[in-house]
A = this chain, B = another copy of it.
Amino acid sequence: QGVAVSGFAEMGFFGATDVDTQFHTDIDVTFTMSGETDNGLTFGASIDLDESDGDPSPAFDGDTQGGETIFLSGNFGTITMGDTDGALDWAVTEVLFNSGSIVDNEEHIGYNGNAGHDGSLGNSDGQVLRYDYSFGDFGVAVSAEQIPGVGADAGDDTAFGIGFRYGLDLGGSSINLGLGYQGSDIADVLALSANGSFGGGFTAGLSYMNFDVDGGGAGDYDHVGIGVGYTTGAISLHANYGVYDYDGGGDDEGFGLTAGYDLGGGAVIQFGYGYNDPDGADSFDTYSLGVAMSF
């Protein structure tokens, strides 16, 4: 009960095709709050120091989201509000594994974080309300996000979502499946994922998303992502590939590689590489090398 303070920092170098290698320094402080009611409900909230940025920061404005999350949890399930995943993103797992890199090279132009509607459509600010409940190997979530109308006489809209998770423990290996849907007057999004951890330090995952803008067409897309990871001792490796296949023709694709060496105590040396092949433009590389520190 109370407020726990944790920290994160990175230093290193990054660069890209036609971009000089530069210094990289980043830092953050996280405040994690937790409590329990007399009847055993748990509640909590979280915000980062960098989310107090802005003038003013949307974190401290009640009707917007600025990185804060707040939850209340009990036998009935968990209610979460704020900068939290909608039901689709909650259900569907990304294809990233292991250490990552200091400038997220693995999140190339063909990568999809599966956020779906969250905070990305219309006037949406990403302030999500989600209810989720788990029983045995199964989990379910529903979510809503209010989207104010863009024009003066535009009506308000709401993005509803529903998601399902299923986890299968095979003894030594495990398989996780996810299925999610979000819909609003703006777009419908359907996604699914499958990923597993296997013996010998191997992990692998696959995700698929269909994004269908109402009345749209050319901007609609199917996305496929696939990723693998391998860990041995202090070393962790990762590769992923992803492609956005647009209904109007053309695609954005890319792949990413990361390698990490765990120094222990919260410090990890991280290397990242990204290959980006945007539709109708020259491909380019990005890379980084540095140390990530957790406190």
Contact = CB atoms under 8 A, between A and B. Distances in A.
A295 B14 CA distance: 38
A47 B30 CA distance: 12
Dominant SS at the A interface? Answer: strand
Given A62-B14, A62-B103, A293 B43 contact: yes
Contacts of A52: 49-50, 52-53
A23 B291 contact: no
Interface stretch (A163-171, A221-229, A260-268, A279-287): A260-268
Nearest to A41: B263
Q: Tell me how many chains of this kind the complex includes.
A: 3
A34 interface: yes
B29 A295 contact: no
Interface stretch (A5-13, A174-182, A202-210): A5-13
A63 B265 contact: no
A27 B68 contact: yes
Nearest to A24: B62
Contacts of A43: 265, 267, 291, 293
A7 B63 contact: no
Contacts of A36: 265
A22 interface: yes
Contacts of A9: 33, 44-45, 68, 70
A295 B63 contact: no
B63 A57 contact: no
24 contacts: A1-B265, A3-B6, A9-B33, A9-B68, A9-B70, A11-B81, A23-B127, A25-B65, A26-B62, A28-B60, A29-B47, A33-B295, A34-B295, A36-B265, A37-B265, A43-B265, A43-B291, A45-B293, A50-B52, A50-B60, A52-B53, A54-B55, A72-B267, A72-B291
